[in-house]
Structure 1
Amino acid sequence: MTSSLTDIAKRAGVSVKTVSGALHGGSARMSVETRQRIKEIAEELGYVTNLAARSMRQGWMPLIGVVADDLITSPFATEIIRGLDGAARASDMAVFAMTLSGRRDVASVLEEVRRFRPRAIAYAAMYHKTVSLPEEFADAVGVMINCREANDRVTSLVPDEVGAAQEITGYLIDAGRRNIVFINLPGLLAGELREAGFRRAMTEAGLDSGCARVLPAVRRGVYSDRAPSLVLSHVTELMGGPNPPDAILCGNDRVAMEVYAALRRVGAEIPDDVAVASFDNQVDIASRLDPPLTTMALPHRAMGRQAAGILLSGDPSPGEVRKLPFQLVERASV
């Protein structure tokens, strides 16, 4: 025979409301010890939540839905889901994601997510960008992760691109590098903000920001892994010219990998001749390069954890944009 909340309440000597709060992530206030004791009794009695009945009572299932804007295709951006899932499980919630791609529009995916009656919905993007939500769905999304809502109607968690670029550029300058070239990501918001931080750091160090060289990593107007690369030609020209750089800052770790290969082709040593630094900390690239790459780690997992807190608090601050700091990962390339 299946046990009930009443059975657990009798055994624990508490009210049914307290049991429900302990097991279902409700707002009932209780000590950690009481919550844990109730969970142990429920497990001992073999209690199984009737999700259908609970959904009818509360109007939602113990789920957080995620509209994944190409997120699942990124090997390192999945840290967002890991952070979100870990924090959600601590509140006895589960996370599910539905992918938004070129063949499915935002409205249709949001409608599909809502069919599962989740407690809350997040929108997560593979890379930092601005997203326009349909007017009728703006209130349905509780938080934007790694992106910003175009009309600032939804709380947004984004990486502090400007701050990260200032920090890594300052790190290169503190290491004695003065002639720094930035091979950046054209057409992307992250690239635009990182260039601003790079130029600011150069100016603050007394180096002429107007002369700081910023070059596009690809031939097309918008960066992508498939666009024709300009890295080899840039590095060949820079190192063969009258004013070769003593450091190259790269728009991401993939660009850095190309810079390594190009520097080797022209006979330059890293870091003795040229220091190399980057953004993203895509570990399968950065840690395996020779020498291992100094880079700025994106705050993906932290964004996921904070998003869960916002969604489960039930009281987000509409339109607030929170910038999360990167973490400098020092390796041997500087």
Structure 2
Amino acid sequence: MKSLLKDAREQKGFKTRELAQLANIDQALISKFESGTRKPTKDQIIKLSQLLEIDYETLMTAWLKEKILYEISDEEFALKALLLAEQEIQKNKKAIDSVILSSNQIILDEIEKLKNQFQSFNHFQLRQISKTLELEFIFQNIHSNGNSLTLEETKSVINDGITISGKSMQEHLEAINFQETAVYIKDLSQKKTAFNEKELLLIHSLIYKGIEFENSGKYKNDPLILREMNLLFNWYESHKNNLHPIILASEIYLKILDINPFEKGSLQIANIVINWILLQNNYIYVLTQTDKNNTEYSTALDEYKIKNDKSAFINYILKIEKENLINVIQSNTK
């Protein structure tokens, strides 16, 4: 943990004195944290994580590891105790997941009824709805990346092959690439292809096809990222059959944002993956409003980042899915 703190501080260009002032922590303590002679409190970890832009989960994991080692590393039965503790934590985790599911059961049941109503539409209606939602999905993803194409301009680019005056070639390519990506994840969903690393990296390369970016289809050059992504895929495999698909997709979205595995495009990848899982389970697109003006989205993310409470974000995704289904059904039953 000490190297995590020191490296992050130096990368941010802070002197220990400056960081101490920002964090409201004594400068001598900051130095001791970095030398390993003192351990921060949990509140101090939260502050340092935010100020130094260190992934909260990564820093907390390092903090807990050192706390455990300090307490029991020299004990004869440490490994047996750790095994029993792991079993108890897993048991408690399942209980928490069960509480999340039961607390959301009413809205999940409502979503299920709406989904069945939506699927009762004829083939032509479903195709038109899919095209409309796909366009909005493409637009929101390129918009979150700073693309200035309007919704109508995006539609003209991807449907009619029109070049929009005053817009850059890259902006056109981003729209085209996301349209191809949307088609690709729809195909993956129809084939019931599970979330996996090979397809994830291919999707990332699709986003940047023809755009000058040497790291497309590649994680950041960081061994920790590779380890975290392996843990993510293992987590998915162990939870894909016992978590509700919307809750599963929401948690993976958060985990991808936590890991931030790519130099560019991690937010877009999170948006793609959540919808890949939803479409695969016959739900419709969740279009997360990620711009700074959406306080509901920002508040839900802050609850997760600061308090490590994922329930607010899961509730947000459930609300968006329900609202999207209602809007689609109402607009097609008039």
Q: Same fold (TM over 0.5)?
A: no
Larger Rg computed on CA atoms? 1
* Length-normalised TM-score, structure 2: 0.27
Structure showing the higher strand proportion among its residues: 1
* Length-normalised TM-score, structure 1: 0.27
